[in-house]
Amino acid sequence: MTNNPFNRGADSAGIERVGIDSGLRSHMLRIYNYMGLGVGVTGLVSWLIANTPAINALFFDALTHRPTVLGMIAAFAPLAFVLFIGFASQRSSASTLQGMFWLFCAVMGVSLASIFMYFTDESIARTFFVVAGMFAGTSLWGYTTKSDLSKMGSFMMMGLIGIIIAGIVNMFVHSSMLQFITSILGVVIFVGLTAWDTQRIKDTYSESFGAEANDKMAIFGALNLYMNFINLFQFMLQFMGSRRD
């Protein structure tokens, strides 16, 4: 093998590229691990509350299954957690943010416990695996596509605001047609957001940020993908879920 000085620049660039790719793969794997474990924590907490009468009575009325005062607080607590994590991101360490993430996933489990009371376990499991496949395929496309998804992401964010407003309106008008349309749009929007968030997470990674900064970015990336998954699951459950008798 000859020692060609003109190849040293290319060799160095290749080594650097391999290092960056390796770091990015590790970064994305960490995000998916956080997200997957977060979904697991949420599911476990939801199932335990729904199937433990003593705990269930704290959050839901035994006869009507409507949320108690504590249940209403639990329903809105995840939003408060997301805002708090956002405000605390600069001042808190990565380990503290990670603890907040796990606590958020547990609180989300409390707010979602009612699905085990209204839908059969079989239909919940069936919907979960379908959504997991949709999420994996969409996220993989967002990671590998060469197309710029930023415009699509902006459009999906506008749609998200629209379905939030529609959901609030439907709390008062109780329209089944509006709920059906909102559910369809919700599936489309969160599929799109999953692809966009994956690409955005990939594009914002840099080894030069340092371990602490990238750890924080991994937590926020996992939080974004987790929220996409949970919302997509809830909308798909409206179509695939079988209600209990």
**The pLDDT value given to residue 3:** 52
Average pLDDT over residues 171-179: 88
Q: Is the pLDDT of residue 141 over 50?
A: yes
Give the residue, 74 or 180, on which the prediction is more confident: 180
Using alpha carbons, select from 212, 211, 230, 209 the residue that is nearest to residue 89.
212
- In angstroms, the Cα distances linking 207 to 10, 90, 151 are 20, 19, 26
Give the residue, 188 or 62, on which the prediction is more confident: 188
**The pLDDT value given to residue 151:** 92
- Distance between CA atoms of residues 132 and 233, nearest Å: 9
Average pLDDT over residues 48-73: 84
- In angstroms, the Cα distances linking 44 to 29, 106, 113, 192 are 22, 9, 9, 27
Phi/psi at 3 (5° precision) = -100, 95
For 226-237, what is each residue's pLDDT tens digit?
999 999 999 999
- Distance between CA atoms of residues 43 and 108, nearest Å: 9
